[in-house]
Amino acid sequence: MSTPPGVPARTPPSVPPRTPPRVLTVAGSDSGGGAGIQADLKTMLALGVHGMSVLTAVTAQNSLGVQGAWELPVEAVRAQYRSVADDIGVQAVKTGMLSSAELVEAVAELIGGTDAPTVVDPVGVSKHGDSLLASSALDSVRTRLLPVATVATPNLDEVAQLTGVTVESEDGMRRAAEAVLSYGPDWALIKGGHLSGDAVDFLTDGSDELWLRAPRFDNRHTHGTGCTLASAIASELAKGRSVPDAVVAAKEYVTGAIAAGFSLGAGIGPVHHGWRLTSATG
């Protein structure tokens, strides 16, 4: 096939492309494309890793909220995970929406048998306030999922849901982290986006501490922020970064995505996962 006029011919690479790091997301689908599996895979592509997915639930969801959710059978979740992990392999795992105790326990067992860092985003409530986690599953998250996490990334509502600790200012974030770490993750990243002032997050393993600050933008279109941050951390871990370095890089990426968030539908629009690409191309 000839090259069209005005289009430069492409020279095939002399060296086969290297396989990028592989990251597996275990999460629900967001039909509106702003959060969940869709946000995870967009983030992974933007950060140069190969994203793979295990679908745990299907939601009918748009900019106004979640109109319905249907959980997949545990055997379907387990089969997806084994299919990917046993053949392709994974270098990091990220979990999102796991709506029932049965699903939480099955996924925790799968992760426990996988030699890869895991980022657990303990999704409890959507951006619009819709519950995405059955109350009966909370204990399974505490006792089965958090103990196998490399990094747990709860927001302040999820901290309160899991630990009973209510945070109203930065002073309470260290106490929140201690409560989350008591369930066994290696690191806790407490997301302070619901506080006033700068967007402040606090990372600790109980010894080392890191405060991460970013300006708060006058932009309400922030759907998918939590999924995006957790996926970005997993992507950076898959590249071989340390947890603190991965979190710093992920925070920088998601800050740009929030700044570029755009209107979609009649409600809250998504963050812009491809902001670096559009910035580079003008």
Can 191 be counted among the known catalytic residues?
Answer: yes
Catalytic residue among 34, 96, 172, 226: 226
Q: Are 230 and 117 in contact (CB under 8 A)?
A: no
CA 267-272-278 angle, to 5 degrees, is 135
Can 222 be counted among the known catalytic residues?
Answer: yes
Can 227 be counted among the known catalytic residues?
Answer: yes
Catalytic residue among 94, 127, 191, 251: 191
Catalytic residue among 25, 222, 228, 255: 222
Phi, psi of 175 (to 5 degrees): -65, -40
Can 225 be counted among the known catalytic residues?
Answer: yes
3-class state of residue 131 by DSSP: strand
3-class state of residue 167 by DSSP: coil
- Tell the residue number behind the tokens 């755009």, with chain if given: 262
CA 241-242-245 angle, to 5 degrees, is 80
Catalytic residue among 28, 193, 224, 269: 224
Catalytic residue among 150, 225, 228, 255: 225
Q: Are 190 and 202 in contact (CB under 8 A)?
A: yes
Strands (E) across the chain are located at 22-30, 50-62, 65-71, 92-95, 118-120, 151-152, 187-191, 199-204, 209-214
Distance (Å) of CA 246 to CA 117, 201, 212, 231: 12, 14, 12, 11
Catalytic residue among 33, 56, 227, 228: 227
Instruction: Write out the catalytic residue numbers.
Output: 191, 222, 224-227
